[in-house]
Amino acid sequence: MSRRRPLLTALAVVALAVLVTTGGPALSASLGTTTTPAVSALAATAGCGKAPGLASGTHSIQSSGKNRSYILKVPDNYDSNHPYRLIFGLHWLGGTATDVATGQTVQRDVWAYYGLQRLANNSTIFVAPQGLNNGWGNSNGEDLTLVDDLVRQIEGALCVDTTQLFATGFSYGGAMSYAIACARANVFRAVAVQSGGQLSGCSGGTQPIAYMGIHGIRDNVLNISGGRSLRDRFVRNNGCNAQNPPEPAQGSLTHRVTTYSGCSAGHPVVWAAFDEGHIAAPQDGAGGDSGSRTWVPAEVWKFFTQFQSGPTPTPTPTPTPTPTPVPGACSATIETVNSWDGGFQSTVTVRAGSAPIDGWSVKWTWPGGQSISSLWNGTQSSSGSAVTVRNASYNGSIAAGASITFGFTANGTAATPTATCTSP
């Protein structure tokens, strides 16, 4: 993301300016209180059952007396009788709506809308608003008002599931996603705050909302301590059990994902920490951004899509009990994270038992002629339908109870065969 890096120092200056000018961390902590409809039962919006009033592309809208713009992506197979999920993708400081909509700063198309468009496979409406001065200062709550105006315009023109509104963004976009969580918890179902800080304010901030935080432990622009503070507000609001979730060691180039326990029904909190700096598409085993190898889109997509339409928020599913670990042993599970005509993408989680392991080997058998086309974070060998994946040079050692992931794309119909794991 080379075009973003020169702007990171500027973001740090913005953060400092906020502290100096406000005596606190927020630009507009008591602003942006426009009344909006609450999340309730699934309702057919005004845009349902009629010809679409908006098409994919760049649009303009009057908001707070200013001409604002946004980019919209409508599913290719749009059905006016089907209510769609709506996801806001918010750019970073110095970024643009075009950067979000195309993914061009990391990997064009593959990373469009933070990598979520590819995973959605025409199941979701996406919107990328353009911030004033390429940021989200939210002066007098004007950016929250823009979000309100966009929701009304899109729901009036397209068929939207009113219980399925989400927001995500990196850096300043993460800060704006946090502001939405604080002020619009009764409108949005969940947010994913990526390497954010409290730069866009927090009006209200007392209601529960499903919250995911993602942050680099070596972030020297918006320190991870700030990300933890944002997270902890919703740990409290959502009634979760307080804890200090594990984070990866410096130099490991890995990530750790923790789901909090005890949260109120339908309001999970997830924390994902990774060993890198202020970047938006981290990958395991290597530094820098990667649109195709980053684990972030799959985690955000899994977090957003756990919620179903309905009159009340769906409680977080009870996780499958982890088998009693055997000393020195490991386990492996395969999860399909995306599929398309003729192919699919999967993530495999390798978890150590009650003792650390040094080296692992995962095996499975394809049920219907599938074949791997690309694989990362491991080395693969195949014999007919039998597949073996061994650790790479950098991820063979796993601490007791810890896990790593590798991923692949494959040809054929999506399948999740049972995998076995052994360790030397």
Per-residue pLDDT tens digits for 258-309: 999 999 999 999 999 999 999 999 999 999 999 999 999 999 999 999 997 7
Q: How far apart are CA 210 and CA 197, in angstroms?
A: 18
pLDDT in tens, 103-135: 999 999 999 999 999 999 999 999 999 999 999
The mean predicted confidence, pLDDT, of the chain is 86
**Residue-level pLDDT at 253:** 95
| Topology (CATH level 3) of domain 331-422 | Immunoglobulin-like (2.60.40)
- 298-332: string of b/e by CB count within 10 Å (b at 16+)? bbbbbbbbbbeeeeebeebeeeeeeeebeebbbbb
39 pLDDT higher than 70? no
* Helix, strand or coil, per DSSP, at residue 249: coil
pLDDT in tens, 134-174: 999 999 999 999 999 999 999 999 999 999 999 999 999 99
Strands 420-422 and 361-365, bridge-based pairing: antiparallel
The pTM score is 0.70
2 pLDDT higher than 90? no
Instruction: List where CATH 3.40.50.1820 sits in the chain.
Output: 57-306
Residues in the chain: 424
38 pLDDT higher than 70? no
14 pLDDT higher than 60? no
Q: How far apart are CA 278 and CA 216, in angstroms?
A: 6
CATH 3.40.50.1820 fits 57-306, yes or no: yes
Instruction: List where CATH 2.60.40.290 sits in the chain.
Output: 331-422
